[in-house]
Structure 1
Amino acid sequence: MMSLVFEWTGREDLNAKGKRFHQVVQNIKIEDLKKTSEQSFSFVGFECQEGVRRNKGRLGAKEGPNAIRSMLASIPYHVEKENLFDIGNVRCDDENLEDAQKRLGESVAGIISKQHTPIILGGGHETFYGHYLGVREAIGPDKKIGMINLDAHFDMRIDETPSSGTMFRQILESDAHAGYLVIGIQELGNTEQLFDTAAQLGAQHVKAGEIYPIESTYETIDAFVAAHDVIIYTICTDVIDQSIAPGVSAPAPFGLDAQTVRNITNYVVQKEKFVSMDVSEVNPTYDVDNRTSRFIAYVLAEAISNKNK
């Protein structure tokens, strides 16, 4: 089911040019979204940590969507168009991850059908499977989906039970028209078996220590984009150094710095084939002074601003 609507509130400046996100975002039911030919964005949250629980991670990610919204609310809004909507959160009830992912997919497909760009707020990284289901439903079975994942982990475990660590294997084994590029891989975060599985299923990867010079990573992204019809993007917050993002399921001592995350995100979202994105694994239970949710909110605010240009 959908949870109660988030109340977007925050600081207000007595000036026509003093707008902040909370003054622009419109809460709306998905059935009331209007089709548009102009760039518009719709938030949907995924209040779920069942995949993390199954993957034996630290719990708390189900509080991520509203924590991100809280930090985003008072960020200054620098876009002339007021084109932001929020359809609420899809909740995972009774540990029924598969049903929740299906419902998230239906919401994502509904947003795309109105020609809005979905921004999905996780939730554990099991969020991505629902994200993928929605895009696949929206574009049909034959178009090539390119999945770009900013992540320290492959998330291609061979476990029989779906979790936050299995999605990309699930997708690649069942969808011949899906491709996978993961950027930020940590050798100390993945077993040899996971590297083997990635190679066997044709996944491409860039290790965290090989991202620079950044131009080489951009070239890898460009080639990947060229080989697919649409691009969907996901940020697993545990790719970020734990000094910046302590509030995650699996903290990263050797994680990426803030500028790298910003650069790659802005590069991907400005691609013409980009259709949707999610941010996952923000865990307020372990956050410090809202560092993690605040950083992700800034990344999203910048991406929205750049996509609107």
Structure 2
Amino acid sequence: MEKHWSLIGLPDDTGVKNVNGRTGAAGGPAAFRTFFEKLKGNPLVKGKLHDLGDVAIQQSIEETHREIAAFITDARESSFFTIVVGGGHDLVFPHLQAYQNATDSGGKLGCINIDVHLDLRPDNPVITSGSPFYMALNAGLLEGENLVEFGIQEYANAEELFIFAEENKVSLVKFDDLRGNVVSGFKKSLEFLSERTDRIVISLDLDSLQAAFAPGVSAPAPEGFMPSEVVEMVRLAAENPKVVSLGIYELNPEFDIDDRTARLAAVIAYQFASVKLANHIPL
């Protein structure tokens, strides 16, 4: 039987609260669906969609992470690919757990994090939205070189996080080094991971976009990627047979203006799904 693709909502922003960020990303999945449902064009996008709803949020952030990992694990076993919408960026940790569980014996997981921030903060004393890749490296979900931090802005990250990234051999691609070459730089990063890994998860933190285009995020950036650049990046990712999932994080409708960010997130997901289905690459 031909597989469908799955949409999963993660309506939790506890990790954002724990770092004293702007709360509201718990409403991200609902805002996303409002506009995704209105998109038309490729009948396969809706025809092959199984919207699995939202993961039930638990009493503690640790319990929520376990619930999400189990939920996505079940979904990916019957799905051609998944799109996950949050929610705080700490939720990419259980997202990665689900796909590390899916790798073949000896297989390797890769991740491209499109983001302003490294998100390599320690998870002690509490897990925050800035902790997911620190946790993923410490848990052995990713080897350092198989984590590509793409679009990182120096002013937005503490020096000790860059030191941690260097010590752990994280693949770092700074925003300043991408000026005028964003899409070609992403293509190189994707090719790099494709040669080294068996499955790739793309994590898009919406604060990587310019705040003028994506004001509805937990931590808006005055400078960042253009919408057309991000769309081109996810379309490239969708063409790659090793890319199995797209995560869209930090959609915060409480701070959105004219629903710009929710509309953009919906279009980004639609473009990824449309290209993935058009190529119909078997996994």
TM-score using structure 1 length: 0.84
d(CA) in 1 for partners of 2:131, 2:113:
13
Which of 137, 140, 157 does residue 101 from structure 2 map onto?
A: 137
Alignment of 1:1-309 (within 5 A): 36-38=1-3, 40-80=4-44, 82-94=47-59, 96-139=60-103, 142-160=106-124, 161-175=126-140, 177-178=142-143, 179-211=146-178, 212-213=180-181, 214-309=183-278
User: Quick check: 1:173–1:201 contact (8 Å CA) kept in 2?
Assistant: no
Distance verdict in 2 for CA 1:299–1:223, change over 3 Å: same
Per-residue displacement from partner, 1:162-184 (whole Å, max 9, x unpaired)?
21101101111221654200111
5+ residue gaps, structure 1, are 1-35
Distance verdict in 2 for CA 1:123–1:245, change over 3 Å: same
Distance verdict in 2 for CA 1:89–1:216, change over 3 Å: closer
Give the counterpart letter for 2:20 in structure 1. K
Structure ranking higher in helix proportion:
2
Per-residue displacement from partner, 1:110-134 (whole Å, max 9, x unpaired)?
1111143121110111120121111
Q: Structure 1 residue 262: deviation in Å? A: 1.0
User: Quick check: 1:79–1:308 contact (8 Å CA) kept in 2?
Assistant: no
User: Quick check: 1:142–1:177 contact (8 Å CA) kept in 2?
Assistant: no
Q: Structure 1 residue 92: deviation in Å? A: 2.2
Superposed CA RMSD: 1.6
Q: Tell which structure's C-alpha radius of gyration is larger.
A: 1
Q: Structure 1 residue 223: deviation in Å? A: 1.4
Q: Structure 1 residue 221: deviation in Å? A: 2.1
Per-residue displacement from partner, 1:185-221 (whole Å, max 9, x unpaired)?
1111111111111111111121122223232431232
d(CA) in 2 for partners of 1:151, 1:157:
14
Larger RCO of the pair (alpha carbons < 8 Å, separation 6+): 2
d(CA) in 2 for partners of 1:87, 1:182:
29
User: Quick check: 1:233–1:278 contact (8 Å CA) kept in 2?
Assistant: yes
How many pairs were matched up? 272
User: Quick check: 2:19–2:128 contact (8 Å CA) kept in 1?
Assistant: yes
d(CA) in 1 for partners of 2:105, 2:160:
30
User: Quick check: 1:268–1:274 contact (8 Å CA) kept in 2?
Assistant: yes
Per-residue displacement from partner, 1:10-54 (whole Å, max 9, x unpaired)?
xxxxxxxxxxxxxxxxxxxxxxxxxx444x211111110001111
Q: Structure 1 residue 159: deviation in Å? A: 4.2
SS of aligned partner of 1:164 = coil
Q: Which runs of 4+ in 1 moved over 3 A?
A: none
Distance verdict in 2 for CA 1:80–1:62, change over 3 Å: closer
1:25 is matched with which residue? none
User: Quick check: 2:199–2:243 contact (8 Å CA) kept in 1?
Assistant: yes
User: Quick check: 1:125–1:164 contact (8 Å CA) kept in 2?
Assistant: yes
User: Quick check: 2:103–2:198 contact (8 Å CA) kept in 1?
Assistant: no
Distance verdict in 2 for CA 1:177–1:208, change over 3 Å: closer
5+ residue gaps, structure 2, are 279-283
d(CA) in 1 for partners of 2:138, 2:162:
16
Moved more, 136-145 or 238-247: 136-145
Give the counterpart letter for 2:85 in structure 1. L
